[in-house]
Structure 1
């Protein structure tokens, strides 16, 4: 079997070196991506499937060693090749410890580069030629999913089973747990990764427009429909559509979705003729669809069609061992974006982050780190964290209290965490705004 030519990312602040490397690599028919800074390289890594990283070490602002560290932790299977004009024993040892396959000193010949290239790509080619093992080697990162807890590993094991087929998948979890990241991992880690991936937040589109946005419409189908227009389903044809907050869809839209799942076809608004589509549907919600079925606001037959495979994402408070890895990811992300350097955090501040229960989950953690990076110089300490993180509930774990007392204290805690934003607090608590108002009055 002939392997595809790899995507190679080259990173160097010297444009002449970039062009030289590009010419050599393209002459061997490799696909080349170029970056003149670590910041640009990180952006490419997030958006593109890269098979080999070639980077300089000495660069202004953030140097190549920080990029190597980032790649080692977040893309552990990606081979790394260092090309530098300032060789040193210390740098060589540090690079090798970080998993660098080879180390080239400038100036180098084309033959030397080819030799280093073959050596760097050999492990990935050997891996591709061998049959996949049933046991998945999960080392901190899987696509954009970060974590090595048992709960995250279980999620990844399910993704490995479903990524190469188009079975309908239902993802459930609290707001901010990363449901869209799981959907993207299912799509981009599988064999359909080159097909479209379309994410639709059903809760963000007005109910009267959702049907037209999903299925498309014909000219004159309703007021304002001045041309024929394709919907999200047509845009995702051949790939994956991710329907977030599916519980917000009206019964009319649910009926149309059922037809899509049963017949593999859609009908545009205002049309009579059906169009066949080949698509994988992934749906998600932070609500309880079973309760909605009882209240007759969600179709039971659609529920069973959507839940061929169910994936449940645990809240962050149930997998606190992942906090360190997540914090490191956000430190690098926002350190490069705002400070052009890798930001560190004190042990005392990290202890507070691990102690907190994160009602807003990963989204709240990212927000806290983003703010702390902006407020600090080079190191985040306790003073840079929000005040509400520094306090725990007023009762101990061994103290037995009435449920209403615990509920009251927790609601007050969430309100403090959201600066008394009742809409946001209700979203975190998984209740509506009216319910939280009633509980506050009580």
Structure 2
């Protein structure tokens, strides 16, 4: 009789149970794979197409519940059936929450197993909803979204400085949204109708940065055929945002210091001083105090820049905001790529909140953008990259180190056994003379 198309993976540290399960399932015309540990099961899952997982819960090392969680995220459409000899209400609830389709206790009959397997294979994915993101209240300020205490502190500072032109210094890891904070300061205040000019000091070659910031006079250098305004002149009465300020040269830093002190600029190649009315907001993702200690950043400029400091928290410190941010990006890219609104399947937000986001908001936006492109009507766990899905940490096995004499003895005995105790052949393999070998044997 031909086997059914379904492949079933059996996982149990008890080989007798594995054989019993295999016999029952083979008589029901299913093809089976066996694993005695979670590590072996994962290797099979990554190499074979499996239609149903049947696993025990209590196993040494990594238990079956960890495997269930792993499969729920890496293979979300795969039904999971737990067979265990340790039934309990709490245990049943926990495995069901982890996405288990069926739960069978030992001892079981062939008929009970047949019924459970059929139900598991006949099961379909549950209906999807987007309730996770819709039930969360938010605090929003000029594009800044969040409800965490960390982001509320940032918004509080923004509200205090938005209507004056105090110099603001923004710190934070790459991808945390430092420019968004700068834009919020500008556009939420009374100077919002004036220009906002963003300058990436790390993206402009050092020999061009001064002329780009302060402008240049006609004839200042080859190709300077007319006077040209710099970014400071362009930001008149508004805000200039100097990102990656730590990359500015010492010469540029000296000129910036004069701008902050005297509220005036001098074009490259000119002696004429021009007044400027500009709010300066600077940002960096490096420690300027360390640059000061190395002599690559001016201490006096540092204190001029840090009148008001804003520390933008990394995403791992504001995980309460992940659902809000993810939903914002989801709808943004759903409209852009699909011309419609989309939802998130259950479990997606939990996976996003579990991850530490070393790339911060920029990485989260990238993940959601890709997920929207790769999905249909909703984003599911399967649409997320593997690093966001559930991972199992296997305990490290300590290697037993033996004394050199013991290792030498074992190896010599192994060679003698392979040569049928022929000392001449053994000595040749060991690259020692026969006399030395005889002494070692004694």
Aligned with 1:291: secondary structure?
helix
1:183–1:242 CA contact under 8 A, matched in 2: yes
2:241–2:280 CA contact under 8 A, matched in 1: yes
Asked which structure has the greater CA Rg, the reply is 2
Q: What do residues 376-405 of structure 1 show as CA deviations (whole Å, max 9, x unaligned)?
A: 011111111111222558489xx9xxxxxx
Which segment drifts farther, 308-317 or 380-389? 380-389
* Equivalent residues in 2 for 1:372-387, closer than 5 Å: 372-387=371-386
1:141–1:147 CA contact under 8 A, matched in 2: yes
Large movers: runs of 4+ above 2 Å: 391-396
Q: Match of 1:159?
A: 158
Q: Match of 2:248?
A: 249
Offset, 1:258: 0.1
Q: Match of 2:181?
A: 182
CA distance in 1, matches of 2:307, 2:392: 40
Q: Match of 1:306?
A: 305
* Equivalent residues in 2 for 1:88-167, closer than 5 Å: 139-167=138-166
Q: Which has the higher contact order (CA 8 A, sep 6+)?
A: 2
Q: What do residues 61-104 of structure 1 show as CA deviations (whole Å, max 9, x unaligned)?
A: xxxxxxxxxxxxxxxxxxxxxxxxxxxxxxxxxxxxx9xxxxxx
Offset, 1:149: 0.4
CA distance in 2, matches of 1:223, 1:289: 35
1:345–1:380 CA contact under 8 A, matched in 2: yes
* Equivalent residues in 2 for 1:29-428, closer than 5 Å: 139-392=138-391, 394=393
Distance 1:395 1:321, change over 3 A: farther
Question: How large is the RMSD of aligned CA atoms in angstroms?
Answer: 1.7
**TM-score after normalising by structure 2:** 0.58
Distance 1:361 1:395, change over 3 A: farther
1:169–1:306 CA contact under 8 A, matched in 2: yes
Gaps of 5+ in 1: 1-97, 99-137, 400-442
Q: What do residues 235-281 of structure 1 show as CA deviations (whole Å, max 9, x unaligned)?
A: 00100000000001000100000000000000000000110010100
CA distance in 1, matches of 2:343, 2:286: 37
Offset, 1:365: 0.1
Offset, 1:223: 2.0
Aligned with 2:197: secondary structure?
strand
CA distance in 2, matches of 1:167, 1:253: 21
Offset, 1:145: 0.2
Q: What do residues 32-51 of structure 1 show as CA deviations (whole Å, max 9, x unaligned)?
A: xxxxxxxxxxxxxxxxxxxx
Offset, 1:226: 2.1
2:176–2:312 CA contact under 8 A, matched in 1: yes
Aligned with 1:156: secondary structure?
helix
1:140–1:325 CA contact under 8 A, matched in 2: no
Offset, 1:139: 4.2
**TM-score after normalising by structure 1:** 0.58
Offset, 1:140: 2.4
CA distance in 2, matches of 1:323, 1:364: 12
Equivalent pairs counted in the alignment come to: 261
1:169–1:307 CA contact under 8 A, matched in 2: yes
Aligned with 1:224: secondary structure?
coil
Gaps of 5+ in 2: 1-133, 397-442
Aligned with 2:356: secondary structure?
coil
Aligned with 2:347: secondary structure?
helix
